[in-house]
Amino acid sequence: MAIRYFRMPAICAFGTGASETAGDEVKRLGCKKALIVSDSVMAKLGQVARLQEKLSAASVQFAVYDKVDAEPTDAIVAEGLRLLRHNDCDALVALGGGSPIDTAKAISILATNEGKISDFMGIGKVPKPGLPVVAIPTTAGTGSEVTGYTIITDTQKDTKMLIGSPYAMPIVALVDPDLTLSMPRGITVATGLDALTHAIESYVSLKSQPLTEVYSLEAIRLISANLRLVYANGNNLEARSNMALGSLMAGIAFSNASVALVHGMSRPIGAHFHVAHGVSNAALLGPVTGFSLMGNPRKYADIADAMGADTEGMGDDKAAGAGLWEIKNLIRDLKVPSLKDLGVEKSKLDRIVGQMAKDAIASGSPGNNPRIPTEQEIVELYYIAYG
Ligand SMILES: [Fe+2]
């Protein structure tokens, strides 16, 4: 049996008030000055100021970079790096959704490794550890606070670069469910379904292993039991807390077991049609699950059970179908739009769908799927998701 590795941040703190310990954590790392990486929404909500107070209270100095408003690009990373160097920071504290956290990881890598961020594209290409990153997520979620991945847009080529390395993993994750209360409904649904997709894809991934499967299944259970509740009432703190925990677990699972066909197909949609990651995943999740069931009915039957389907007396094939029904039902209840509803132009899709299928395969993620698709099958799945 091949050696399987399982990595996660050295410290994961979960619960109300976890984010307030950021200053103590930076100090415990032996660092003196942190670059806070965030966005204008967090600044407007007063969360950046609150974080500054906590760092000051722990006698940690800081500089602030709160300009990560869109998908992170190489230009944003370069600007943050300049600020980090100018201020002589020796740690980073990321506050926000996946974008600020991914940006902080990339800045951390460039702070200690010579070169441009594109030099480190791919898996295992970062030679040295970066500066320590303390990650505080405000969505539930991308899972970025616990993964060894960062996705940065190459502005020259207009493509998304995936950088995967143990050195891209934050050393501390502070998951404070109270911070997710401010998420509007659209982001709640998109990030929640992204987290569910991480949980499902990591469970059925050909790279899954016993240490990841427990996290995947518990994440599926938590997310599917709570996503409707936070959709219906964003102030339901218990449901928000369960979503944050589910997202954290799904992140730990997919960081170690990888994602599969949904994510492979989702990235080209994001790159060409500028559809948010969680939204394009959600549009693909039903069709791709239907396609993939036959590759591992046993595991999809487990997913059905975790989602609360009544599979009593059913064989694996039937129970797997019940799981697909649960997924489709959830997506319908959350009113997830099809690609057509999202404004994806049919004529443009017709023109580039072949290239999108090639790019999806080249990303490597479809190779982790329980049913390995051909290029033509991926094209067909894009049209089913189109609606
Ligand atoms: Fe994702």
Taking only the tens place, the pLDDT of each residue in 225-270 is 999 999 999 999 999 999 999 999 999 999 999 999 999 999 889 8
53 alpha carbon to ligand 1 midpoint, in Å? 32
pLDDT value at 338 more than 90: no
pLDDT at 196: 97
pLDDT at 1: 73
190 alpha carbon to ligand 1 midpoint, in Å? 10
Q: Please tell me whether residues 71 and 195 are part of one structural domain.
A: no
Say if 359 falls within a structural domain: yes
198 alpha carbon to ligand 1 midpoint, in Å? 6
Say if 3 falls within a structural domain: no
The answer to whether 152 and 107 have CB atoms below 8 angstroms apart is no
187 alpha carbon to ligand 1 midpoint, in Å? 13
238 alpha carbon to ligand 1 midpoint, in Å? 24
Lowest mean pLDDT among 63-67, 291-295, 348-352, 360-364: 360-364
Q: Please tell me whether residues 118 and 170 are part of one structural domain.
A: yes
142 alpha carbon to ligand 1 midpoint, in Å? 6
58 alpha carbon to ligand 1 midpoint, in Å? 34
pLDDT value at 100 more than 80: yes
pLDDT at 51: 97
Q: Can you tell me the mean pLDDT for 33-50?
A: 96
Q: Can you tell me the mean pLDDT for 157-180?
A: 93
pLDDT at 161: 87
Say if 300 falls within a structural domain: yes
Say if 1 falls within a structural domain: no
45 alpha carbon to ligand 1 midpoint, in Å? 25
| End-of-domain residue from the set 134, 155, 180 | 180
192 alpha carbon to ligand 1 midpoint, in Å? 10
The answer to whether 160 and 271 have CB atoms below 8 angstroms apart is yes
Q: Can you tell me the mean pLDDT for 30-46?
A: 96
CB proximity list for 114: less than 8 A, separation 6 or greater? none
Domain count, the chain: 2
Average of per-residue pLDDT values in the chain? 95
- Phi-psi label, residue 158: left if phi above 0, alpha if psi -120 to 50, beta otherwise: left
- Cα 360-158-194 angle, rounded to 5 deg: 50
Domain of 36, CATH number, reads: 3.40.50.1970
- pLDDT tens-digit map of 319-337: 999 999 999 999 999 998 8
Residue 331 belongs to domain spanning: 185-386
| End-of-domain residue from the set 180, 197, 215 | 180
Q: Please tell me whether residues 381 and 262 are part of one structural domain.
A: yes
Name, of 89-93, 162-166, 184-188, the range with top average pLDDT: 89-93
pLDDT value at 342 more than 80: yes
pLDDT at 195: 97
